Amino acid sequence: MLMLAIESSCDETAAAVVENGRRVLSNCIASSVPLHAAWGGVVPEIASRAHLENILPIVHAALSEAGIALDRIDAVAVTRGPGLIGSLLVGMEFAKALAASRGIPLLCVQHIAGHLISPALGREVNAWGESVRGDAPPFVPYVGLTVSGGHSSLVHVKSPTEFFILGETLDDAVGEAYDKIAKHVGLGYPGGPLVDRTAAKGDGQRFAMPRPLLTASNFDFSFSGLKTAFVREVGKLGGPEAVRQDEQLLADLCASFQAAAVDVLLQKARRACKFVRSERLAIVGGVACNRGLRTTFRKELEQKLQLAFPEPEFCTDNAAMIAAAAYPLTLRKAHAAQRISALANLTLDAPVASWQS
């Protein structure tokens, strides 16, 4: 089954062609990140306009990179929510029109479900080390640690369409905290990869940063206090300007922030696996690209757990993951109705069956 998938929930217009929800034939992304950089964050109106301009070229690019003509596509998948409503609407309405005009099924997907199923994807092998040729449904069950710019959660992926939320952030998402501290010290936007690079040269033990909710007996996170601790430490050291002048100081601060964030994520993920008796853990979302996080998780957990780290192109927002999450829906024939609409606050556990009418 060849699926064309579309993702437009935030600032990336993405399209992909994926075979059987696993084998990626193309994964194309047009990002409006440079347009938002001057504001230090995503401006919804600019994002929507960029989606309108990018959607048709990116769909053409995905088909042409895959070498697949539109009339060979069996189904269209799209992100229904959550996200910025103006952004979601562009992808949703485009996908609905395309599916209707071709007379093929439309599958609607929740964005976080896409991140959670992203370990199924690959060009030859996937993040679980399986061949992506064939038509097996995604590998389950496992615990998914979602670490992105908009979400941080621990989820028990019981089946490819059944997600049990164990815990989530009570305030900032971890990627949001990365972006905000980077903005504070003038590193640039988006901050995650820049903090990652800076932290690699630093000493994570130099500054004592808090580990929020580490000892709480639940699986929730909180990253806003950690962000504030970083800002306060910068203030004590003379402010952002002074910190920027001292390369080692900035690196040590970033490394100390990262050490605290990774420590909380790791310990809570380990406990969640124990709680649901899972020997498999998938780390998904943009922050899963973080080199410090990958190294520490591998060192501390690889002996006991089977870890899945999707390739970086499948960690940050992309459309291939939307096809991966839609494939199990095609097996259940859970096709979406034409009158379905985007939903900015769509939850992970929303019953997919009700989307059919």
Contact positions toward ligand KG4, by CB under 6 A? 148-150, 175, 178-179, 190-193, 196, 285-287, 289-290, 316-317
What distances in angstroms separate CA 198 from CA 130, 230, 259, 265, one per listed residue?
A: 34, 15, 13, 20
202 binds, among ligand KG4, Zn ion, none (CB under 5 to 8 A by kind): none
Q: What are phi and psi of 268, to 5 degrees?
A: -70, -40
Please say whether the beta carbons of 19 and 77 come within 8 A. no
Rounded least distance, CB 317 to ligand KG4, Å: 4
Give 98 or 284: the residue with its C-beta nearer to ligand KG4. 284
Give 27 or 330: the residue with its C-beta nearer to ligand KG4. 27
Pick the piece of the chain touching Zn ion (CB under 5 A) from 126-134, 138-146, 147-155, 238-246: 147-155
Give 15 or 250: the residue with its C-beta nearer to Zn ion. 15
317 near Zn ion, judged by CB under 5 A: yes
User: Using CB under 5 A as the criterion, what x/- string covers residues 191-210 for binding Zn ion?
Assistant: --------------------
- Alpha carbon distance 232, 239 (integer Å): 9
- Alpha carbon distance 105, 166 (integer Å): 32
> DSSP letters along 263-329, please?
HHHHHHHHHHHHHTT-SEEEEESGGGG-HHHHHHHHHHHTTTSEEE---HHHHSS-SHHHHHHHHHH
- Alpha carbon distance 161, 351 (integer Å): 9
Rounded least distance, CB 203 to ligand KG4, Å: 18
192 binds, among Zn ion, ligand KG4, none (CB under 5 to 8 A by kind): ligand KG4
* Residue 244 CB coordination number (10 Å): 14
Pick the piece of the chain touching Zn ion (CB under 5 A) from 40-48, 79-87, 309-317, 336-344: 309-317
Rounded least distance, CB 324 to ligand KG4, Å: 14
Reference 17, options 57, 56, 73; nearest CA is 73
12 near Zn ion, judged by CB under 5 A: no
Pick the piece of the chain touching Zn ion (CB under 5 A) from 119-127, 208-216, 313-321, 333-341: 313-321
Rounded least distance, CB 101 to ligand KG4, Å: 29
Which pair of tokens denotes residue 68? 């697949």
Q: Judging by DSSP bridges, how do beta strands 2-7 and 12-19 pair with one another?
A: antiparallel
- Alpha carbon distance 322, 310 (integer Å): 14
Rounded least distance, CB 89 to ligand KG4, Å: 18
Give 251 or 287: the residue with its C-beta nearer to ligand KG4. 287
175 binds, among ligand KG4, Zn ion, none (CB under 5 to 8 A by kind): ligand KG4
Rounded least distance, CB 337 to ligand KG4, Å: 26
Rounded least distance, CB 331 to ligand KG4, Å: 26
What distances in angstroms separate CA 166 from CA 171, 215, 300, 305, one per listed residue?
A: 16, 16, 22, 18
Site residues for Zn ion per CB under 5 A: 148, 317
